[in-house]
Structure 1
Amino acid sequence: MMTYALPTSRATSDGTCGERNAGTVTLDDAITAWALAARGGDPAAVERFVTALHRDVQRYVAHLCGDPQAVDDLAQDTFLRALGSLHRFEGRSSARSWLLSIARRAVIDSYRYAAARPRPSDVPDWQLAVELAQPRDLPGFDDGIALLDLLTALPDDRREAFVLTQLLGLPYAEAAEVSDCPIGTVRSRVARARATLTALLDAAERPAVLAA
């Protein structure tokens, strides 16, 4: 497993960060430490925190919102809210799940705003934004786009649970925190999403098998 060095600046109020700096930690631990250091006014930690999670936030809001043109604005809004609330972040949960919870609220607020001001014209669906955010020229890229196509068939709640746990890699407990629902509900949604995706994959491959 890849490990990351913690920032050298003070990152917690209880003095424990200095002890952890002697070793290495996982990426989520490092991101959480950067968030705590950023709370203490470390500009380098702020940059590392934003850089580490910017892509995850973009992918998550792209899956949630219906307007790909709004993804960048929603991501920016998410980080502005987060940086303005860092003084309240105490590291009880990972900084990743804390930030994605803020992203979810940003999307919900955008829906409320859009309801008050209807869009003048239709826009492409969320899938375009996700595709544009994907890295190109990587092994499995085409398979990833195919998966995004299949995700459109899932109900919103199952797609969100699948994205959080299977694409963004959040533990089920943190995904439940982000989605504001019991962990058992997340597990059920992911299981049903997997069953649906498996059925869709089987249906997609059947014509090719018959032709062969």
Structure 2
Amino acid sequence: MASDQPVARATPDDPATVWALAARTGDPDAVDRFVRALHPDVVRYITYLSADRQLADDLAQDTFLRALGSLHRFEGRSSARTWLLSIARRTVVDSLRYAAARPRTADVDDWTTWAERAQPSGLPGFDDGVALLDLLDALPAERREAFVLTQLTGLPYDEAAVAGGCPVGTIRSRVARARATLVELLDEAEGSGAPAAVAA
């Protein structure tokens, strides 16, 4: 059955992919380099995709455990980064499904307030970072995912489509809509002092 999904090809000068292929043979140095090279992108992607900053490190660890367990099947048909972000996406989906099946004890994120109070707010960029997180949280999940994949983790659109499990045109459309929404939210925030909610 033919798919309209693109297949990203690994380039020989992609070090993470080279390390992933070397790690298949059990080379501990290659495994370490593979994990170190891609860990920041995985954490960043999971943080925004799951909208749960508290669990991002745990989900990233689970992503790498899954990846290392199936590394012997990685053949380099896509970049290691795309392959790993696809695993990260499935890890987040599994986590959300598991959480939805369990009863919740509280619907308030008190830890977020305490964590923000504990951070030194006078550092350059801190307020901008918090504002960006708030604006991204206001985006619908599909647009946030596409924006994070392409604009924050730097994936090309074709690789973001593979990681997101959708056609390239869909990724482009979601990113364009996310940008337009973020501009509207920034304009509203500057006028009222707080970002408004966004309809899906």
TM exceeding 0.5: yes
- Cα 1:110/1:176, change in 2 over 3 Å: same
Please, which moves more after superposition, 136-145 or 115-124?
A: 136-145
Greater C-alpha Rg: 1
Q: What is the one-letter code of the residue matched to 2:105?
A: P
CA contact (8 A) 1:173 1:183 kept: yes
Instruction: Provide Cα deviations, 1:18-49, integer angstroms capped at 9, x if missing partner.
Output: xx6xxxx4xxx011111111112110010011
Report the equivalent of 2:71: 86
- Cα 1:61/1:207, change in 2 over 3 Å: closer
Report the equivalent of 2:25: 40
Whole-angstrom distance in 2 between the partners of 1:163 and 1:94: 18
Identity %: 72
Report the equivalent of 1:13: none
Report the equivalent of 2:7: none
Alignment partner of 1:149 is 2:131? no
Aligned residues: 177
Please, which moves more after superposition, 188-197 or 111-120?
A: 111-120
CA contact (8 A) 1:63 1:127 kept: no
Q: Which ranges of structure 1 fall in alignment gaps of 5 or more residues?
A: 1-16
Q: Secondary structure at the match of 2:166?
A: coil
CA contact (8 A) 2:51 2:137 kept: no
1:166 CA displacement: 0.2
- Cα 1:37/1:141, change in 2 over 3 Å: farther
Report the equivalent of 1:173: 158
What TM-score comes out, normalization by structure 1 length? Answer: 0.74
Higher RCO, 1 vs 2 (CA within 8 Å, ≥6 residues apart): 2
CA contact (8 A) 1:66 1:126 kept: no
Q: What is the one-letter code of the residue matched to 1:188?
A: S
Report the equivalent of 2:95: 110
1:137 CA displacement: 9.5
Q: Secondary structure at the match of 1:73?
A: helix
CA contact (8 A) 1:68 1:125 kept: no
CA contact (8 A) 2:46 2:60 kept: yes
Q: Secondary structure at the match of 2:70?
A: helix
Q: Secondary structure at the match of 2:138?
A: coil
- Cα 1:137/1:118, change in 2 over 3 Å: same
CA contact (8 A) 2:19 2:30 kept: yes
Summarize the alignment of residues 15-54 of structure 1 with structure 2, pairs less than 5 Å apart. 25=13, 29-54=14-39
Q: What is the one-letter code of the residue matched to 2:182?
A: L
Q: Which ranges of structure 2 fall in alignment gaps of 5 or more residues?
A: 1-10, 194-200
1:205 CA displacement: 2.9
